[in-house]
Amino acid sequence: MTTTIKSWLKTLWTPPKTHKDILLAYSMTFRTPFGAIVLEHLMDEVYCTICPEDSPTALAEHNGRRSVVDEILRNIDMAESPNKYGEAA
């Protein structure tokens, strides 16, 4: 199974080569109508929620999910406002 995944990653998906390419990919993805729907769902259901449980494990899981949404938001923002972060992306 691991060999299959490694093979797939090498042949079917090639990541963007530069930071600019990654930022552009985030921006282009979430500017589409479907991307906007997904982002709104992530904001409503993950990012703008509080942890429903009292356990440290649940809190860690919730914060992990929120950090992924935060990464998406930061990359979109960097793509749209590169000078906001010091140097142009």
Please give the residue that has the higher pLDDT: either 34 or 7. 34
The range of the structural domain enclosing residue 49 comes to: 29-82
User: Is 51 within the bounds of a domain?
Assistant: yes
- The amino acid at residue 12 is L
Which token pair is 4? 């299959």
- Residue 67: band (very low, low, confident or very high) from pLDDT cuts 50, 70, 90: very high
Query: What DSSP letter does each residue of 10-30 carry, written as one string?
Result: HHH----SSHHHHHHHHHHHH
User: Is 5 within the bounds of a domain?
Assistant: no
pLDDT in tens, 37-61: 999 999 999 999 999 899 999 999 9
User: Is 57 within the bounds of a domain?
Assistant: yes
Structural domain tally of the chain?
1
- In degrees and rounded to multiples of 5, residue 29 shows phi and psi of -65, -50
Q: What angle do CA 50, 52, 57 make, to 5 degrees?
A: 100
User: Is 49 within the bounds of a domain?
Assistant: yes
User: Is 1 within the bounds of a domain?
Assistant: no
pLDDT value, residue 8: 67
User: Is 20 within the bounds of a domain?
Assistant: no
